[in-house]
Chains A and B, each alone.
Chain A
Amino acid sequence: EPEVTQTPSHQVTQMGQEVILRCVPISNHLYFYWYRQILGQKVEFLVSFYNNEISEKSEIFDDQFSVERPDGSNFTLKIRSTKLEDSAMYFCASSETGTTGNEQFFGPGTRLTVL
């Protein structure tokens, strides 16, 4: 069964460093998403991406964040200068279409720890 994959599973970084989290969405999906989950809190939407551009983003997704689809398979989230409060689980998701009712499939997540 096709699945969303994410690497690395765990990333430890120093405050102020740049990190890139990687995702491989399901191959025939066209819409891609990043969510995050701070320990003990809800899963929060960060950004959605379609046709090589951001279609929607949350207030969390400020100038420190960027997304990219560098090739035909990968979808990345970059945090330019990490802060302690960026420590969280980051989930990538993908869906065939962006319409309501179209299931978003989630990856296993990357645990980001900022020291």
Chain B
Amino acid sequence: GESVGLHLPTLSVQEGDNSIINCAYSNSASDYFIWYKQESGKGPQFIIDIRSNMDKRQGQRVTVLLNKTVKHLSLQIAATQPGDSAVYFCAETADSSYKLIFGSGTRLLVRP
């Protein structure tokens, strides 16, 4: 289930540091955004979501920021841990659709 990609951007961080993963989305009509984590051998796993009427949402150790002006989404992970190593995807959807549109993914590597 891993998104093994020769061309995946990679973010390497030291354990304990904060991580910021960025995503540009394409559809200005999208009104709901989700971050997924994909570990090796598994399917995408929901992390956090945000609706377009918000610009920030916090979860446990994670924060999602939404900038609709420039169609940009970011995921911040506080105190990154080795278990956070995975590929992270943003996804968007519009109210008129059931489908999720995924971004290309970022590989996060956490150095011990």
Interface set of A (CB-CB < 8 Å, partner B): 4, 31, 33, 35, 37, 39-45, 48, 50, 55-56, 58, 89, 91, 93, 98, 100-101, 103-109
| Bound: A108/B31 CA distance, A | 27
CB pair B46 A58 closer than 8 Å: no
Q: Given A37-B3, A40-B6: A100 and B43 within 8 A (CB)? A: no
Interface centre among B5, B89, B93, B98, by most chain A C-beta atoms within 10 angstroms, is B98
CB pair B45 A106 closer than 8 Å: yes
Interface set of B (CB-CB < 8 Å, partner A): 1, 3-8, 31-32, 34, 36, 41-46, 49, 51, 89, 91, 93-95, 97-105
CB pair B43 A101 closer than 8 Å: no
Chain B residue at smallest Cβ distance from A103: B46
CB pair A42 B105 closer than 8 Å: yes
Q: Given A4-B43, A91-B43, A103-B49: A41 and B5 within 8 A (CB)? A: yes
Shortest beta-carbon distance, B96 to chain A, in Å?
9
Q: B102: which A residues are within 8 A, CB to CB?
A: 35, 42-44
CB pair A33 B41 closer than 8 Å: no
Shortest beta-carbon distance, A99 to chain B, in Å?
8
